Structure 1
Amino acid sequence: MRLLIIPGLYGSEPAHWQSWLQARHPTSVRVNVLDWSVGQVDVWAERIAATLIAEAPGPWLAVAHSFGCLALARYAALGGRDIDAGLLVAPANPQRFNLAPGHIARPLPFRSSLVVSDNDHWMAREDALALGAQWGSRPVCIGPAGHINVDAGFGPWPLAQALVEELRDADRHAAAGVRARTSATQQTSKANARSAIAQTENA
């Protein structure tokens, strides 16, 4: 499962945990926008779509931070279905960008975890958890961690790697379960077919 890195406003500098995570996963791809200082959620959602179209098929695990979380949610709300799992960290408050709830506050069509801080100036903990509940994300509260960025001391961040692995494992287990159920169904169908043939021959 490849990582799709979706930074927030102003991008993620080399010292940022997203850059650290990307370096650990050589097949990762970073979404780029023309102007990192302008939070236009539809434009960013289009950039996510364009990035995925330009790459080989997934599976993809999106790793989004701040405004990037809103862009990922908007991409999904617009019908994007190429993401298989998501790690969303410290989402920005949609109200700061005059976004109506319907733009982004919809269940995500993929498994996701949402990391929130107790003292994030970009979005209060309770508001972030409420948004995460609308997304259907599993909440991960890490205490007073600011905006979970370089200024808050988040360069190399082992928890991010652990959460990525957790999402990957969950996806693998889910896929294995589907394969097992499919195999069982196929075996049952074959057994039923053999039984039907035998009954026909004995009639």
Structure 2
Amino acid sequence: MKTADADILIVPGLGHSGPGHWQRRWAEKIRTARFVEQDDWDNPTLEDWVETLHKEIMMATRPVVLVGHSLGVPAIVAASQRLADTKVKAAFLVAPPDVDEHPNVPEATAPFKNLSRDPLRFPSMLVASSNDPYCTVERAAEFASCWGSDFHIAGEMGHINTESGHGPWPEGLLMFTRLMSRI
């Protein structure tokens, strides 16, 4: 599938994706991409985030591909459990936080604890860093296995955000392109 044939919904994490973040750059480059805008980026509730994402999916006019980073990943996972007949064709999941077990995860992520580990209802790729400050690579591999996601270890990339030096992140765009070519 070509990006021009899909609505690319970008799902940021806690605090949104600031200037220079790879998600923001992708939204500027991919004509059919747009952000899923939450009402509260700093004090999220699972229900609100999932409801907003669900509405965006339902309003899409083309097949949907989700691009989630950090807390956006569990929001996508929770939303997928509620989608019976979905337009979602794939999800690109980057740097999921381990909200259940990792001690460094911000307290504001608590509403996202104890999510389902059932397989996603669409193809997905999970990209993890071997030195993410919010999730071990072993936990990320466990998430990928449970959700039925292709798993890619990106190397020592921190949380794959601007703080870890990943503005444009061309390697991620190549991985995303591979996922798009499969659907």
TM over 0.5: yes
Unaligned runs of 5+ in 2: 1-5
Matched residue count: 169
Which of residues 106, 126, 143 in structure 2 aligns to 1:114? 126
Partners of 1:11 and 1:109 in 2: CA distance: 25
TM-superposition CA deviations, 1:23-53 (whole Å, max 9, x none) = 1111112101111012322211111011123
* Counterpart in the other structure of 1:149: 161
TM-superposition CA deviations, 1:55-99 (whole Å, max 9, x none) = 32x211110000000000000012252210110000011315264
The alignment-based identity, stated in percent, is 31
Which of residues 135, 141, 149 in structure 2 aligns to 1:137? 149
| Higher RCO (Cα < 8 Å, 6 or more apart) | 2
Which of residues 64, 71, 95 in structure 2 aligns to 1:67? 71
Secondary structure of 1:163's counterpart equals helix
Which of residues 18, 28, 48 in structure 2 aligns to 1:23? 28
Relative to 1, partners in 2 of residues 1:163 and 1:150: Cα closer, same or farther, differing over 3 Å? Answer: same
What amino acid is aligned across from residue 27 of structure 2 in structure 1? Q
What amino acid is aligned across from residue 140 of structure 2 in structure 1? A
Relative to 1, partners in 2 of residues 1:115 and 1:4: Cα closer, same or farther, differing over 3 Å? Answer: same
Secondary structure of 1:94's counterpart equals coil
TM-superposition CA deviations, 1:143-186 (whole Å, max 9, x none) = 11110000000100112221221111111xxxxxxxxxxxxxxx
Deviates more, 1:74-83 or 1:11-20: 74-83
Contact 1:88 1:113 (C-alpha < 8 Å) held by counterparts:
yes
Contact 2:46 2:111 (C-alpha < 8 Å) held by counterparts:
no
* Counterpart in the other structure of 1:32: 37
What amino acid is aligned across from residue 65 of structure 1 in structure 2? H
Higher helix share: 1
Partners of 1:3 and 1:85 in 2: CA distance: 10
Partners of 2:127 and 2:143 in 1: CA distance: 12
What amino acid is aligned across from residue 88 of structure 2 in structure 1? I
* Counterpart in the other structure of 2:3: none
1:112 Cα deviation after fit? 0.6
What amino acid is aligned across from residue 75 of structure 2 in structure 1? A
* Counterpart in the other structure of 1:174: none
Contact 2:54 2:79 (C-alpha < 8 Å) held by counterparts:
yes
Partners of 1:6 and 1:146 in 2: CA distance: 19
Partners of 1:55 and 1:111 in 2: CA distance: 18
CA RMSD of aligned residues (A): 1.5
TM-superposition CA deviations, 1:85-125 (whole Å, max 9, x none) = 11000001131526454x33210111111000111111111
* Counterpart in the other structure of 1:164: 176
> Normalising to structure 2: TM-score of the pair?
0.86
